[in-house]
Structure 1
Amino acid sequence: MQKSLLMSLMAGLWLVLAACGGGSQEQQSQTAAPAPAKPEIPAVAELAIAGNDQMQYDKKKLEVYEGQTVKLTLTHSGTLAKEAMGHNWVLLAQGTDLAAFATSAMGAKDSDYIPADSDAQIIVHTDMLGGGESTSIEFPAPAAGTYKYLCTFPGHYVMMQGDFVVKPRE
């Protein structure tokens, strides 16, 4: 008796499952939605950064994509003269010792605190600015990675530094 009850239940279950799954192949297959288009990376990355009379940049991190042309504008938002509170923006090559470079820069007053023979350590730099001044530079973004930037005016690098992140194109 138990065996025939079990067989009846199994047969009923099979009929229910067969009735639910009887759709055509066309109904069951779904077309995969197309992947959303990736946003286009602009050819030029326009960046702005400011330094103030409290020895601070307004940004600690700047991001671009590999292969972009970077147009960076530095503004000295303070009021003090270049000789008292000058600011620049210097992008260092990977592997450059930040503290050692800044120490070397302190002795380079005649060249706006850009050390002689530092071409291998510097990717690009702006001019030194006084309060209310602004300058722009253009350069190709380096290879993907994280680079350090700083102000080389004596003593400023401790507070005026950040990361320049170059993201790979995907």
Structure 2
Amino acid sequence: MVYRSFKVILNCSALQSLLHLLSSPKESIKKEACWTISNITAGNRAQIQMVMDADLLPPLITILQVAEFRTRKEAAWAITNATSGGSAEQIRHIVDLGCIKPLCDLLTLMDSKIVQVALNGLENILRLGELEAKRGGGINPYCALIEEAYGKSTYTHKQSWV
């Protein structure tokens, strides 16, 4: 019953409204929109796909990089939830949109909960990479991306101390 009700709400242009709210000048509105999207991406693959089809991920990834901390935190939950329940194709798409660097940037923050959320998202991406490496007999394609992004994150973080 809950899933059907949720689906009806999503089919009534709610996602397009959320897309509009993500660009609000009011940080509190962006934060609540991210929180709502994180609840949707905590659902099933069809719900994650609806978020993707509504083009909500690119602005979420931007928010993950530039918004205030509380809003970034909600955006991180939305992205991590999508990597947790998403299909291999969906996770690849999220990576292609550029989520790795912003997730790595969160690892330098002094908030253990947000660091854990970012680590979970990165772990989900690495797990997919391990499966792909085993199938192809190669190496995890996401390891180098994370190493490079994390190296840049920690370098930038250290530079801000100087």
How does the TM-score come out when normalised to structure 1? 0.23
Higher relative contact order (CA 8 A, sep 6+): 1
Q: Identify, as 1 or 2, the structure richer in helix.
A: 2
TM-score by structure 2 length? 0.24
